[in-house]
Amino acid sequence: MARRHFFDAGQPERVEIIAFEGAFHGRSSAAIAAAGTEKMTRGFGPLLPGFRQVPWGDNEALEAAISDTTAAILIEPVQGEGGIRPLPDACLRGLRALCDQHGILLILDEVQCGMGRTGRLFAHEWAGITPDIMMVAKGIGGGFPLGAVLATEAAASAMTAGTHGSTYGGNPLGCAVGCAVMDHIADPEFLSEVRRKAGLLRQKLEGPVAGHPQVFEEVRGTGLMLGLKCRAPNADVVTAGYDALVITVPAADNVVRLLPPLTISDDEIVEAIARLDAAATRVESAPEKASA
C-alpha cells in the first residue's frame, strides 16, 4: 500500500520500508524480508528487496537510513516475538514527527499488541498518535482467523477497486466475527477492566520474580502483554510451565511471554501465579530434568 501510494503520488522511487532489528511481522514472503532475521529468512531466499532494518532504539541509525527512496517506517509499538519490548511513548511520537517531516508513512504492526492487549484498543493510543497504515489480526477474531489492514484515506488513496485484493478479503463470516469481537473489546468498561487486571497480574508477578532470582530477572511489558526476563533458559521455564499446567510462550532475549485472555478473572490470575511459581521451583530444583 505504501509503495502504491507513492507510485500514484508521482514518487515511484519511494519503495523502501525501514523496519527494526528484533521485529516480527509474520511469515509471508514480504513479512520475513521486513524482519530480516536469520531465524525468519534462512532457506527462504531470494528475499523480497526494499526492506532494511535498523537497530531498535537507535535514532541516529534511523535518521541516517531515511533517504529519497524511503516510503515508510514499519514498527510494532510493543515488540512481541522480539522479547516484549514496549516502544516508549516519546519514541512513538518521535517516529510520527520524523515521518511527517520526511513525508513518509508510519506503518504500525498491532497484530499482537492491538485489540485491547495493552488496555487501550490500540497500543499506539497511549502515545496519542495515529499511524498511516496499521495491521491488526489475532485478537480481532477472538480465536477465529482474521486479519485487517487499516489506513487513513490519504495513505489508502491508491488502493482503488481492482488495484489489489485477496480472495478471502472481506468475507462475510470473518467480518461478522470481527464485528462481534469489536463490540466487546471497544467497550471502555471492558478496556478499563483489562487495565485493572493487568495491574493485578503485574503486581502479583513480582512475587515469583523476587522468590526465584535464579530463574527470573524482571517483569517487563505493558497491559496483558507481559514478559518475564529469565536467568534460567526460557525454554526450561516454558516446559516446566506445561507440567504445572500454565501455558506460556518463549520470545527472544530469553523472555517468557504471558499473553492471557483479556477475559481472565482475578482468581485465574492468582492461580496462574501459583502455577508459575511451581514451575520456577521445578526449574530451580531440577534444571536438567526441566529441559529434557
Ligand X SMILES: *Cc1c(COP(=O)(O)O)cnc(C)c1O
For residue 84, the minimal CB distance to ligand X (Å) is: 11
Nearer to ligand X, 31 or 140 (CB): 31
- Our finding on whether 277 is near ligand X (CB under 6 A) is no
Contact indicator for 7, 158 with CB cutoff of 8 Å = yes
Binder of ligand X out of 51, 73, 75, 76 (CB under 6 A): 76
Range 169-198, binding ligand X (CB under 6 A): none
- Our finding on whether 80 is near ligand X (CB under 6 A) is yes
- Our finding on whether 39 is near ligand X (CB under 6 A) is no
Size of the site for ligand X (CB under 6 A): 13
Contact indicator for 142, 102 with CB cutoff of 8 Å = no
Say whether 138 is catalytic.
yes
DSSP 247: -
For residue 79, the minimal CB distance to ligand X (Å) is: 8
- Tell me the three cell numbers of residue 144: 477465529
Vertex 71 angle, CA 17 and 93, to 5°: 85
- Our finding on whether 109 is near ligand X (CB under 6 A) is yes
Q: Which of 81, 122, 94, 137 is nearest to 253 (CA)?
A: 81
For residue 76, the minimal CB distance to ligand X (Å) is: 5
For residue 122, the minimal CB distance to ligand X (Å) is: 13
- Our finding on whether 99 is near ligand X (CB under 6 A) is no
Catalytic residue among 24, 51, 122, 216: 24
Say whether 51 is catalytic.
no
Strands (E), the chain: 16-20, 51-54, 70-75, 78-79, 85-86, 105-109, 133-136, 148-151, 216-222, 225-230, 249-251, 255-258
- Our finding on whether 289 is near ligand X (CB under 6 A) is no
- Our finding on whether 112 is near ligand X (CB under 6 A) is yes
For residue 63, the minimal CB distance to ligand X (Å) is: 24
124 burial (CB, 10 Å; 0-12 / 13-18 / 19+) is buried
Torsion of CA 154, 160, 163, 169, to 10 degrees: 90
Contact indicator for 216, 231 with CB cutoff of 8 Å = yes
Say whether 24 is catalytic.
yes
Catalytic residue among 132, 138, 197, 277: 138
- Our finding on whether 31 is near ligand X (CB under 6 A) is yes
Q: Pattern 10-29, binding to ligand X, x per CB under 6 A? A: --------------xxxxx-
Segment near ligand X (CB under 6 A), from 104-112, 215-223, 264-272, 280-288? 104-112
Binder of ligand X out of 18, 73, 105, 111 (CB under 6 A): 111
**469481537: which residue's cell?**
181
The Cα-based distances of 4 to 73, 96, 144, 292 in angstroms read 15, 20, 30, 50
Nearer to ligand X, 109 or 236 (CB): 109
Q: Which of 23, 116, 11, 29 is nearest to 68 (CA)?
A: 11
Give the residues lining the site for ligand X (CB under 6 A). Answer: 24-28, 31, 76, 80, 109, 111-112, 137-138
- Catalytic residue positions, numbered: 24, 109, 138
